[in-house]
Amino acid sequence: MKAKVYVTIKQNVLDPQGNAVQGALHTLGFGEVGKVRIGKYLELELDTNDRAQAEEKLKVMCEKLLANTVVEDYRFELEG
Amino acid sequence: MKFAVLVFPGSNCDIDCYKAVEDTVGQSVDYVFHTATDLSAYDAILVPGGFSYGDYLRCGAIAQFAPVMTEVRKAAEAGKFILGICNGFQILTEAGLLPGALIRNNSLKFRCHQVDLVVENATTAFTNAYKQGQVIDIPIAHGEGSYFVDDETLASLKANNQIVFRYAGDNPNGSVENIAGVCNEAGNVVGMMPHPERAVKDILGSDDGVKMFKSVLNAFVTQAKSGAVNGAGAR
């Protein structure tokens, strides 16, 4: 089974990288670009077929390590 | 008094911390590797700056699960004195021993220069030799030192007097309310982005960091005396 994990910066937390990219896109002429937020994307291969258990464990992985829930949100998708 | 300076793969201020202990208070100090499983011999634990585990994923994210951190948690609960500096501060927040998180500087630049700090709480184990409100000159060197806490936690930090240092002049990184250092509720665990171990001699540009080390020696002596009194009472 494969998991796709998305870690994003909380809406109330400043994202200076996103702001810099927004500025760069404006410089390139993409004036339609509003707010830009940069996050992380992780692909995990899981050695299991038990979907419910995989979801449960992924939640723990995200809470413990993959995301810092003080400043980040996370979500994940399971495939296969 | 015995000091431990933790060493993770990628720590790079461990030698500075070790030498600062020797030069400021002349107490016993050891390097303790991240694989250590016993810190019971130590009275104070310094978590130094650097780039532990290459700052992979997030600063301090991997280091929080190093074997030695189980012992650091125990030491914190036992009331031992713990100071996290720079990456050490990031590790202590990731480990949940201190509130909040450190994120990318709002300038996106690595800021490496002297800053003025206001001592907001001169009652912690690491600040008791300073005066309340004293302004001290200590260097910073970080790219991810913007302190973030949610409003609710910020209110509790204020209520419990857990804000230890604030930047006195320009805010170098975008930290909430200019916060440069915080402590836990008990005041025995302190974390800060600036580097007091790099400010222990005039020739380094400042010796204002010396009193951090004197403070923890004071705290230890006070604790030992009250322990002796209690011990005598028990007999």
Total CB pairs under 8 A between chain A and B: 36
Mean pLDDT (chain B, rounded): 95
Q: What pLDDT is stored for residue B230 in this prediction?
A: 56
State yes or no: pLDDT of B229 exceeds 80: no
Domain of residue A10, residue span: 2-79
CATH of the domain at A56: 3.30.1280.10
User: Which residues of chain A lie closer than 8 angstroms to B105, CB-CB?
Assistant: 16
Between CA B92 and CA B76 the distance in angstroms is 11
**Quick one: pLDDT at residue A46?**
96
- pLDDT of B120 over the 80 cut: yes
User: Are B146 and A20 in contact (CB < 8 Å)?
Assistant: no
Inter-chain residue contact B94 with A14, CB threshold 8 Å: no
Q: In chain A, whose CA is at the least distance from the CA of B56?
A: A66
pLDDT for residue B226: 86
pLDDT, tens digit, for every residue of B164-220?
999 999 999 999 999 999 999 999 999 999 999 999 999 999 999 999 999 999 999
In chain A, which stretches have pLDDT less than 70? none
Task: Confirm if B75 and B41 have CB atoms less than 8 A apart.
Answer: no
Query: What whole-number percentage of chain B has pLDDT above 90?
Result: 95
Distance CA B20, CA B195 (A): 11
Residue B234, pLDDT > 50, answer no
Nearest CA in chain B to A16: B106
Number of compact structural domains in chain A: 1
Residue B232 clears pLDDT 90, i.e. is over it? no
Q: Residue A18: which residues within 8 A CB-CB, separation 6 or more? A: A9, A35, A36, A37, A38
Are the CB atoms for B28 and B22 separated by under 8 Å? no
> What is the topology classification, in CATH, of domain B2-234?
Rossmann fold (3.40.50)
- CB B105 within 8 Å of CB B171: no
Q: Which CA distances in Å does B180 have to A19, B12, B94, B203, B221? A: 24, 20, 16, 24, 27
Q: Tell me the whole-structure pTM to 2 decimals.
A: 0.94
- Confirm or reject contact between A71 and chain B (CB < 8 A): yes
Of B61, B94, B108, the CB nearest to A16: B108
Strand A72-79 and strand A40-45: the pairing is: unpaired
| pLDDT of B233 | 42
Amino acid identity at B178: N
Residue B172: the pLDDT is: 97
pLDDT in tens, B84-112: 999 999 999 999 999 999 999 999 999 99
What's the CA gap between B99 and A29, in Å, rounded? 42
Task: State the pLDDT confidence band at B235, using cuts at 50, 70 and 90.
Answer: very low
pLDDT value of residue B228: 65
